[in-house]
Amino acid sequence: MIEHHLDDEMLLRYSAGTLPEGWGVAVATHLALCPSCRAKLGVFESVGGYFLDRETAANDDQSDAWSKVHARIEAGEIDKVVAIRREGSTDTTYPEPLRSYIANTGGLKWRRMGGGAAQMIIPTSDPTTTVRLLKIPAGQPVPEHSHAGTELTLVLEGSFSDAVSTFGRGDIEMADSDLMHQPRASEDRDCICLAVTDAPLRFKSRFMRWLQPILGI
């Protein structure tokens, strides 16, 4: 059961085609796993174009735009919400479109990061983000860090916990510069995540900061 979903603003930007590709890979992968966000996307797609043309032009705050759309739906001004258009593929660790991104780079190639952790950079044409797969060994922590920008983490296999919550397959955690956290994989199995960042992480340990350019994180 997915408990941590996409935020409305990101989903709205995805449906409007204005979300940079790096975030889009994670959004689309979450959508493949999450019927509830697919249903919400259906709402955006049916009313979003109409609405964005008329109101976002005057008001750039898209989360505000969504609350207005939502109010109209609640008030019955906008007709019944839309059926889910496409089914997600939930049977593999790497659902589409992520699977194709991995295939396009020649398949899974993990690169060791130390402490048993490994990563694989997923190339995209978006220069504003870095997209990577992370594998954290069962029971192990990721080095404690905060964020200069935003970090989106989507769990694909296993689970991890930090001070905020526990995140399982399909769950999304959004972290920004206010959060110093140390995610730890659950004891029972390795945790595989898709992580998107728009700025380098800020590690607490001097050693990790020294390693950053070498690891490309």
By CB under 5 A, residue 5 contacts Zn ion: yes
Structure tokens of 115? 């402490």
- Interacting stretch for Zn ion, rule CB under 5 A, among 29-37, 73-81, 119-127, 209-217? 29-37
Taking the complex as a whole, the smallest distance from the CB of residue 31 to Zn ion amounts, in Å, to 7
By CB under 5 A, residue 208 contacts Zn ion: no
- Interacting stretch for Zn ion, rule CB under 5 A, among 32-40, 76-84, 88-96, 158-166? 32-40
| Cα–chain center distance at 135 | 16
Among 10, 25, 26, 34, binds Zn ion (CB under 5 A): 34
State the Cα–Cα distance between residues 207 and 178, nearest whole angstrom.
22
- Interacting stretch for Zn ion, rule CB under 5 A, among 30-38, 119-127, 131-139, 153-161? 30-38
Structure tokens of 17? 């085609």
By CB under 5 A, residue 19 contacts Zn ion: no
By CB under 5 A, residue 37 contacts Zn ion: yes
Q: Are 9 and 182 in contact (CB under 8 A)?
A: no
State the Cα–Cα distance between residues 160 and 157, nearest whole angstrom.
10
State the Cα–Cα distance between residues 207 and 166, nearest whole angstrom.
27
By CB under 5 A, residue 154 contacts Zn ion: no
Comparison of 98 and 117: residue with beta carbon closer to Zn ion: 98
Place of tokens 């050693």: 207
Reference 90, options 171, 13, 9, 30; nearest CA is 30
Chain positions contacting Zn ion, by CB under 5 A:
5, 34, 37
